[in-house]
Amino acid sequence: MNKKKRYEILSLFYKKQPNPKIELIFSSDFELLLSVILSAKSTDIMVNKITGTLFQIANTPQGILQLGLDKLRYYIQSIGLYNTKSLHIINTAYLIATKYKNKVPSNRIELESLPGVGRKTANIILNVLFNKKTIAVDTHVFRVANRTGFAKGKNVIDVEKKMIKIVPSIFKKYVHFWFVLHGRYVCTARQLKCKLCLIEKLCEFDRKK
């Protein structure tokens, strides 16, 4: 895909949704961090359902630590990998409370040192909370980038590097959310809704294959 076509695609997304928002519901930096940790291998709808209850009980590092591992497991047991995520959240809460003085770190190295926080999670936190022009590549972004021909790559790191290189600075802050929403509701994994697609005429996907 050439530079002109990519710019047209991003311009169309921008025109339709100039300020896209993350669909996770949160009211503090710490709540977002926990929500993104919980979202791994799960849906935002499920995470919001869980945190809607959990955050009424505990939504600070101290609150999570007081809740304890067993009770935390109980509140998040309906989500995938809840045992592992419970441990990650307890350990992350401890580090946020003791090492970072109850503040979510604002740089990648410190973020990725937290249990349960990988590159994708760090990119989302840096983007949403600290206005960094990072591009998180999840399954939706990876699929849309490859399927449309926008940025092809064999793995998420390849796609992220390409997108950082080719996406104009004015669009970098939003491109993750545009691609996530497009992949979630239009360019889905199993049932493509090409007739509803905003960028159908610019897409390079060969439906015959």
The pLDDT value recorded for residue 108 is: 95
The pLDDT value recorded for residue 191 is: 87
Alpha-carbon torsion angle 94, 98, 104, 110, nearest 10: -90
pTM of the predicted protein model: 0.91
Place of tokens 């935002």: 44
The pLDDT value recorded for residue 62 is: 98
The pLDDT value recorded for residue 103 is: 97
| Residue 84, CA distances (Å) to 27, 44, 73, 88, 91 in order | 24, 18, 9, 6, 11
The pLDDT value recorded for residue 153 is: 96
Average pLDDT across each block of 10 residues of the chain; the chain has 209 residues. List them in order: 96 96 96 96 94 97 97 95 96 98 96 96 97 95 97 96 96 96 94 92 82
Active site (catalytic) residues: 120, 138
The pLDDT value recorded for residue 32 is: 98
